[in-house]
A and B are shown apart, each in its own frame.
Chain A
């Protein structure tokens, strides 16, 4: 089936099988390999993207659900003030080691901060509960999001 949707503000039109994963569609686009495949079954969050502003796992999202949707990947987030804040705080708090899970964590963090600009620990833990990191032990990531939340977002 033919599916037309927006990725990071650009219209994408693909002829695809109805249950092709958004993850595969994205990674086949030039320059959009920031979205990672970890488990491929909705457990790890490495493939997280924003679908119409909400965090979803792109490995579980079939092409047939994409018509008219607006998708933001880590590459689309990169030009925002939110990204700069998160990048800085993840770095300062040791929220990154190998980096494979980081795009997913940043997407989930951005979704949280949009709803709740100064989240407490508990809210951060809930928001990041669908993301796995095998390096950092999570403390650095939670501190990073908390610190990013305290900083008022600059105008883009």
Chain B
């Protein structure tokens, strides 16, 4: 096996353009299993250019190799993102695992993906001097597959700013720490004058990719407290056919589907209604 460790991003892009290499940053997923199947690896974790996190007028820009610990400590990080990171693996893994690693690994159970889908995050892909930008929800195409092309590297992740006043996140797993998710649900909403202005809902671990459906979110627009339970039930019925989990070593399809929809009805019906009550 050959390992490359170029001193700059330009050098990394050059190697990526010339050779068949596996990009590696935190390696926390790669090293579980049999990493020896890869012939050439390109280390990116040492590149400062890929580790910067900046707050902008429109949100935040995160270097692809920023670790989850770094991200959680960033002043620009929204609380809904910090909530996800606090339940992500363990401190030792958060000190190494990177945002782009979690995206490119494209696990149906990836902890960061529901948040990135519901906040309309984008990835920036670089190929020599050219950049292209794709919504994370389009970039991830299935379990372990993305639109990343052989000559490209993810260089940044852009998270637009949001002004949610209601956030809900629940990761269902065997234990509270260091456990892979069976399923997860994240809901963020913006409310004004006792009504829902906007809501974003993302389910993880219940389909090949994260389930987010803007058309169903529309059901909630202008809803008041008393209408929420009925709307949540109607929305749950619409999500039903899209929640198509599998049986695996962590859980069963039946448990995942039942729990995902029950959590959704509880959070979007009861908890959001309670939130609208509070002035």
Interface residues of A (CB under 8 A from B): 1, 17-19, 21, 41-43, 45, 48, 51, 54-57, 59-65, 67-68, 108, 111, 126-127, 129-131
Contacts and interface: CB of A to CB of B under 8 A. Distances in A.
A68 to B, nearest CB: 8
A114 B80 CA distance: 27
B178 A64 contact: no
B5 interface: yes
A130 B90 contact: yes
A131 B89 CA distance: 11
A35 B91 CA distance: 18
A101 to B, nearest CB: 13
Given A62-B27, A129-B177, A129-B178, A41 B95 contact: no
A60 B43 CA distance: 14
A56 to B, nearest CB: 5
Nearest to B176: A129
5 contacts: A42-B93, A56-B95, A56-B96, A60-B27, A62-B31
A60 B36 contact: no
Nearest to A63: B3
Given A19-B35, A64-B43, A129 B91 contact: yes
Interface string B176-198: 11100000000000000000000
A42 B92 CA distance: 8
A42 B3 contact: no
Given A45-B90, A62-B31, A130 B45 contact: no
B31 A60 contact: yes
Per DSSP, chain B at the interface is: loop
Interface in B19-37: 24, 27-28, 30-32, 35-36
Interface in B46-97: 46, 69, 86, 89-93, 95-96
B41 interface: yes
A130 B5 CA distance: 29
Contacts of A63: 3
Contacts of B177: 126, 129-130
B93 A65 contact: no
Nearest to B33: A41
Given A19-B36, A41-B32, A60-B28, A67 B90 contact: no
Contacts of A127: 91
Contacts of B178: 42-43, 129-130
A56 B92 contact: yes
Given A56-B96, A60-B32, A62-B27, A130 B91 contact: yes
Contacts of A55: 91-92, 95
Contacts of B30: 19, 62
Contact of B93 (A1, A57, A108, A111): A57
Contact of A19 (B41, B86, B91): B41
B32 A42 contact: yes
A144 B8 CA distance: 44
Given A18-B41, A64-B41, A129-B176, A108 B92 contact: yes
Contacts of B92: 42, 45, 48, 55-57, 108, 130
Nearest to A107: B92
Q: Sort A-B residue pairs by CB-CB distance and give the 9 closest, nearest first.
A: A130-B90, A18-B3, A129-B177, A64-B3, A60-B31, A1-B3, A41-B32, A54-B95, A64-B43
A130 B32 CA distance: 16
A126 B31 contact: no
A127 B89 CA distance: 12
A56 B5 CA distance: 20
B129 interface: no
